Amino acid sequence: MELLIGIIIALIVLVSLSIHEYAHALVASLFGDDTAKHAGRLTLNPIAHWDNVGTTLLVGLIILRSLGLALPVFGWGKPVPIDEGKFENPRWSSFNVAIAGPMSNFVIAFILAVIYKLTDGGTFIDSILILSVNLNVFLGLFNLLPIAPLDGSKLLRLFIPEELYINLHTNPLLFYGMILLVFWFLLTPLQIFAQNISQFLLG
């Protein structure tokens, strides 16, 4: 049963990641950058968004954790290629492209919460809907953190000098320091906040 739950969680994450990355590609295309479209990323097919390292690691850790191994779960989808040179306003367009991913997760969570409230799918179906809402709220919030290379860093870019923004992406000490900051201090509060939002949506 635990393995089945792990597989279901992995599938939910894969679908959510695919919609997340598709949203990036779609908004980039709307703002004039067709790089992602020509790369085959303007699709909901999970295979197109599968990162050989990040997604394989994510799915593998989810399955292993479902088997009882106390392992941290982390990973990522394949980044959507963006050519800022095709945007009229690179900062503003890049922000919209970045924010589209987390917003897609919040939309998924809201739709599934409405379905949960309107239907009586039985204990198992209800559990899947609740889990899907929780995961998508968490994914959306996590990606909004203003830390490179997360989507939220594009929000930070609107308020800091471009040189500092580039330094945050390229300086190894700053990059890994922020990653450690997230996992040591922010992850648990973020999970609690995501659960509270999910409970509110689910009523």
For residue 149, whether the previous peptide bond is cis, meaning omega lies within 30 degrees of 0, is yes
| Residue 85: how many other CB atoms lie within 10 Å | 8
Residue partners of 32: CB distance under 8 A and separation at least 6 = 86, 87, 88, 93
CA distance 111 to 109: 6
Q: What is the CA radius of gyration of the chain?
A: 17
Beta strands in 51-106 (DSSP E): none
Helices (H) and strands (E) in the chain, counts: 9, 0
The tens digit of pLDDT for each residue in 120-169 reads 767 888 888 999 999 999 999 989 987 777 888 888 777 778 777 777 76
Q: What is the count of structural domains for the chain?
A: 1
pLDDT by residue for the chain (203 residues), tens digit each? 788 888 999 999 999 999 999 999 999 999 999 999 999 999 999 999 999 998 999 999 999 988 888 777 778 889 999 999 999 998 899 999 999 999 999 999 999 999 999 887 678 888 889 999 999 999 999 899 877 778 888 887 777 787 777 777 676 666 666 667 666 777 788 889 999 999 999 98
Structural domain containing residue 19: 2-202
162 is catalytic: no
Set 2, 21, 88, 163: catalytic member:
21
